[in-house]
Amino acid sequence: MTDAKTIAADLRALLPRAHAPYSGVQVACAVESADGRVHEGVNVENAAYPQGWCAEASAIGAAVTAGPTKIVRVFVASSLPGHVWPCGGCRQKIFELAAPGCEVVSLAGDGTPERRTIEELLPLAFRLDPRQVRGG
């Protein structure tokens, strides 16, 4: 299990790398895959809204690119003083790759963690059986 204090420090160090010229809110995320590896990302805003992407999407993309397809834990931190949680779209992205009971940890400005499972954050997640999808 990844240590929240270590991840909190790592994410704080990543915040200045976020590209947030419109909102001014920097967000960093780390996803822990089932094999124990941690993949990080930051938010990247774009003037052609909604073409930017959230830190969670960046971290998930890094994990998928590296090979892991199961997420067991997600950590989120921002430049705001309190706790932040993934948006609805990112909750769905997490859900689709999450192991059952995947923990989402929001890290406040002082590093204090608050924890929820992805099922708590997205109780009525959109579920699609991949066997029902037809290729084009």
Condensed to tens digits (0 to 9), the pLDDT of residues 42-87 reads 999 999 988 899 999 999 999 999 997 899 999 999 999 999 999 9
* Mean pLDDT over the full length of the chain: 92
Residue 98, Cβ neighbours under 10 Å: how many? 23
Catalytic: which of 32, 40, 56, 103? 56
What pLDDT is stored for residue 79 in this prediction?
Answer: 97
Q: Pick from 121, 112, 116: which is nearest to 4 by CA? A: 112
Helices (H) and strands (E) in the chain, counts: 4, 5
Domain coordinates of the chain in residue numbers?
A: 4-132
Task: Work out the angle between the directed axes of helices 55-66 and 88-97 (0-180°, nearest 10).
Answer: 20
Q: Which letter does DSSP use for residue 64 in this model? A: H
pLDDT category of residue 23 using cuts at 50, 70 and 90: very high
Does residue 133 carry a pLDDT above 60?
Answer: no
Topology at the third CATH level for domain 4-132:
Cytidine Deaminase; domain 2 (3.40.140)
Q: Is there a catalytic annotation at residue 56? A: yes
